């Protein structure tokens, strides 16, 4: 099927366009996540949040960006300068490339051409995501190490051990899902969740893997260094954590990469467990809206799910207090990993029973 | 030993049940509480446009009062400076000349009256010490400034503005 794709000039053009659009989208979403975070924090605390720059504070991210760029750029004299610059660059790079394998929508007919709304449909999409996520910790590690500051180093060590611990549980939680889907391609996984209802049960993976989703969700919080697992930048103990020594846009990159990570992990969660661009009654819409507008509704559905998850990230941040470090490790190693393994066993048993008796 | 009051209460710490150790019900409960707060009335006062009323016993910037004929009440007795625990008040007195009766109520007045607003702790002892009811801390918040010398407020800033039609 892959070989059937005609590679011509337009193919490169449409991929280039798609990459540009997704890149811009993730940056804009990350930008406005910073505003949304402050707004939601305000609402949850009976305040109004930033509301001076532009209508209702809509220009606040621009003001923040300009401020970040205009700040003095300080590189500590005792730091290793090359790694000090590599750190934030790596953080934002790994945050941005994660979105490459996410299917943003069904195949769409644009100007008479059938366009795949996915940058690349590699058959190890899930593994790619995991690889990129594992790389993400290097940005933090290198930055914290290069700062030559004990607080930065402590933050970096925390980030590294936390991410490695939770990656195991995350990987195990996804195995149960992969046993059911039988594919690592995110496109295949999404297509299997077509619509909302299939043969007497919900077709979205969440409804067959609720425990797996819960483990994945908790691990996603830990991987993106969000509260309640934001120990790497725990200001009461570590000043600023791994970005203590950073200033100007290098600090901006670190903060920004956190929001892009949030966006990408929301997209992954929506794709794996909540049907991606599928939504109830999509067949009817596809029939009536045509091959151009129908998939776009799917894209909107996916974005809606992503925005809900981003909101969820922020909602949790302003509700749940931060874990202590030993509690974090206990949760990761003694609770989530056994639970994930139990989930694999239970899924395997259920699949065998289903295959034998039904 | 028998306890003197019955206020002491021994807390029983039961081991947590499985449901409590999962934390999830507690987290869900907490999140529902925070979510409800989104629809509460906002407490924010939009400051430059809307200003909150000061309380009855608010102590702000000092003002040197005039009497009903618009004459300065202060007689430069120095009791305010004496009572000031922060030693923020200094003054130089002068004798009232002939023809100045419409400016100063007493025969002696403060030619220079300075309060260092960086030293002042707004305790209000000066207004309590004043026998002539000449100083009150009934002004607004003392504004920020850039230089130390600009925080030494003289009579130009402290004395009440003249009442229209009574005094020139």
**Does residue A7 register a pLDDT over 70?**
no
How much of chain A exceeds pLDDT 70, in percent?
97
Residues 31-60 of B with CB under 8 A from A: 31, 33-35, 37-38, 40-44
pLDDT band, residue A5 (cuts 50/70/90) = low
Q: Is B107 a member of any domain?
A: yes
Nearest to A80 by CA among A136, A138, A142: A142
Torsion of CA A113, A117, A121, A127, to 10 degrees: 180
Q: What pLDDT digit, counting tens, does each position of B80-110 carry?
A: 999 999 999 999 999 988 888 888 888 999 9
Residues of A with CB under 8 A from a CB of B: 40, 43-48, 315-316, 318-320
CA distance A257 to B88: 52
CA distance A262 to A268: 10
Q: Is B94 a member of any domain?
A: yes
Q: What pLDDT digit, counting tens, does each position of A238-264 carry?
A: 777 788 888 888 888 888 888 998 898
Predicted local distance difference test score (pLDDT) of residue A6: 57
Predicted local distance difference test score (pLDDT) of residue B84: 92
Q: What pLDDT digit, counting tens, does each position of A108-138 carry?
A: 777 777 777 777 878 888 888 888 888 888 8
CB pairs under 8 A between A and B: 32
- A225-234, A316-325, B26-35, B143-152: lowest mean pLDDT where? A225-234
This model of the complex carries an ipTM of: 0.75
User: Residues A85, A87, A92, CA angle at the centre, nearest 5°?
Assistant: 105
Half-sphere exposure of A237 (CA within 13 A, CB side): 14
Q: Is B5 a member of any domain?
A: no
Q: What CATH number does residue B78 fall under?
A: 3.30.70.3270
How confident is the model over B146-162, as a mean pLDDT? 88
Between the two ends of chain B, the Cα-to-Cα distance in Å is 79
In chain B, residues with a C-beta closer than 8 Å to the C-beta of A43 are 37-38
Q: Is B86 a member of any domain?
A: yes
Q: Is B88 a member of any domain?
A: yes
Contact by Cβ (8 Å): A298, A105: yes
How confident is the model over A279-289, as a mean pLDDT? 79
CA distance A47 to A39: 8
Q: Is B99 a member of any domain?
A: yes
Predicted local distance difference test score (pLDDT) of residue B83: 93
Which tokens in the block code for residue A105?
């929508």
Q: What pLDDT digit, counting tens, does each position of A301-322 carry?
A: 889 999 999 999 999 988 888 8
Q: Which residue has the tokens 């930055």?
A: A143
Nearest to A62 by CA among A74, A48, A50: A50
Nearest to B141 by CA among B50, B58, B46: B58
**Does residue A26 register a pLDDT over 90?**
no
Predicted local distance difference test score (pLDDT) of residue B2: 73
Predicted local distance difference test score (pLDDT) of residue B168: 44
Backbone phi, psi, residue B27, to 5°: -65, -40
Neighbours of B8 (CB within 10 A): 7
- A175-184, A228-237, B60-69, B93-102: lowest mean pLDDT where? A228-237
How confident is the model over A100-110, as a mean pLDDT? 82
Distance to chain B for A45, nearest Cα, Å: 7
CA distance A174 to A267: 15
Torsion of CA A65, A71, A77, A81, to 10 degrees: 30
**Does residue A36 register a pLDDT over 70?**
yes
DSSP character string of A119-183: S---TTHHHHHHHHHHHHHHHHHHHHHHTT-HHHHHHHHHHHHHHHHHHHHHHHHHHHHHHHH--
Q: B23, B34, B44: best mutation site toward chain A, by most A Cβ within 10 Å?
A: B34
SS (H, E, C) chain B: CCCCCCCCCCCCCCCCCHHHHHCHHHHHHHHHHHHHHCCCCCCCCCCCCCCCCCCCCCCCCCEECECCCCCECCCCCCHHHHHCCCCCEEEEEEECCCCCCCCECCCEEEEEEEEECCCCCCCCHHHHHCCCCCEECCCCCCCCCCCHHHHEECHHHHECCCCCCCCC
Range of the domain at B112: 63-158
Which tokens in the block code for residue A37?
């975070």
**Does residue B11 register a pLDDT over 80?**
yes
Nearest to A323 by CA among A213, A215, A225: A225
Contact by Cβ (8 Å): B127, B135: yes
Query: Residues in chain B, how many?
Result: 168
Q: A42, A44, A315, A318: best mutation site toward chain B, by most B Cβ within 10 Å?
A: A44
List residues bridging with A113 in a β-sheet: A110
DSSP 8-state symbol, A262: H
In chain B, residues with a C-beta closer than 8 Å to the C-beta of A335 are none
Per-domain boundaries in chain A: 63-357
Does B22 contact chain A (CB < 8 Å)? no
CA distance A90 to A284: 44
**Does residue B163 register a pLDDT over 80?**
no
Nearest to B127 by CA among B47, B63, B46: B63
**Contact (CB<8Å) B38/A44:** yes
Per the structure, how many domains does chain B have? 1
Q: How far out from the chain centre does Cα A270 lie?
A: 10
Nearest to A270 by CA among A24, A102, A74: A102
Does B30 contact chain A (CB < 8 Å)? yes
User: Residues A84, A86, A90, CA angle at the centre, nearest 5°?
Assistant: 130
How confident is the model over B13-33, as a mean pLDDT? 84
């Amino acid at each position: 099927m892959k070989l059937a794709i005609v590679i011509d000039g337009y193919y490169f053009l449409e991929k280039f366009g798609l990459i540009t659009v997704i890149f811009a989208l993730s940056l804009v979403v990350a930008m406005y996540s910073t505003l949304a975070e402050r707004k939601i924090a305000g609402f949850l605390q009976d305040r109004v949040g930033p509301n001076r720059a532009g209508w209702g504070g809509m220009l606040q991210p621009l003001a923040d960006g300009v401020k970040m760029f205009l700040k003095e750029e300080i590189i500590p004299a005792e730091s290793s300068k090359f790694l000090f610059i590599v750190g934030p660059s790596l953080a934002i790079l790994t945050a941005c490339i994660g979105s490459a394998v996410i299917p943003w929508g069904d195949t769409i007919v644009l100007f008479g051409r059938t366009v795949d709304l996915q940058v690349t449909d590699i058959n190890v999409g899930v593994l790619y995501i995991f690889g990129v996520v594992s790389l993400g910790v290097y940005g933090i590690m290198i930055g914290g190490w290069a700062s030559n500051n004990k607080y930065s180093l402590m933050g970096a060590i925390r980030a590294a051990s936390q991410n490695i611990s939770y990656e195991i549980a995350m990987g195990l939680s996804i195995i149960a899902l992969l046993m059911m889907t039988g594919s690592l391609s995110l496109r295949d996984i999404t297509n299997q969740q077509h619509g909302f209802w299939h043969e007497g049960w919900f077709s979205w993976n969440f409804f067959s893997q609720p425990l797996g989703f819960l483990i994945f969700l908790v691990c996603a919080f830990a991987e993106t260094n969000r509260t309640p697992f934001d120990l790497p930048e725990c200001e009461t103990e570590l000043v600023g954590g791994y970005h203590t020594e950073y200033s100007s846009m290098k600090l901006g990159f670190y903060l920004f990469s956190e929001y892009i990570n949030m966006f990408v992990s929301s997209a992954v969660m929506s794709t794996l467990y909540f049907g991606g661009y599928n939504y109830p009654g999509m067949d009817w819409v596809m029939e009536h809206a045509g091959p151009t507008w129908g998939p776009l509704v799917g894209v909107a559905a996916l974005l809606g799910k992503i925005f809900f998850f981003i909101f969820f990230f922020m909602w949790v941040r302003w509700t749940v207090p931060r874990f202590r470090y030993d509690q974090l490790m206990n949760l990761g190693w003694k609770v989530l990993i056994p639970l994930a393994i139990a989930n694999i066993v239970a899924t395997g048993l259920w699949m065998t029973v289903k295959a034998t008796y039904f | 030993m028998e306890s003197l009051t019955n206020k002491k209460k021994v807390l029983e710490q039961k081991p947590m049940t499985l449901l409590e150790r999962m934390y999830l019900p507690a987290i869900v409960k907490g999140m529902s509480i925070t979510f409800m707060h989104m629809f509460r009335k906002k407490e924010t006062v939009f400051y430059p446009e809307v200003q909150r009323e000061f309380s009855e016993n608010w102590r702000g910037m000092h003002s040197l009062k005039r009497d009903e004929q618009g004459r300065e009440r202060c007689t430069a007795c120095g009791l305010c400076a004496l009572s000031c625990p922060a030693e923020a008040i200094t003054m130089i007195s002068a004798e009232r000349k002939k023809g100045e009766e419409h400016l100063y109520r007493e025969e002696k007045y403060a030619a220079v009256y300075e309060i260092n607003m960086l030293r002042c702790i707004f305790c209000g002892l000066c207004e309590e010490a004043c026998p002539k009811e000449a100083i009150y801390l009934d002004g607004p918040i003392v504004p920020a400034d850039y230089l130390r010398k600009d925080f030494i407020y003289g009579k130009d800033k402290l004395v009440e503005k003249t009442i229209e039609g009574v005094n020139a």
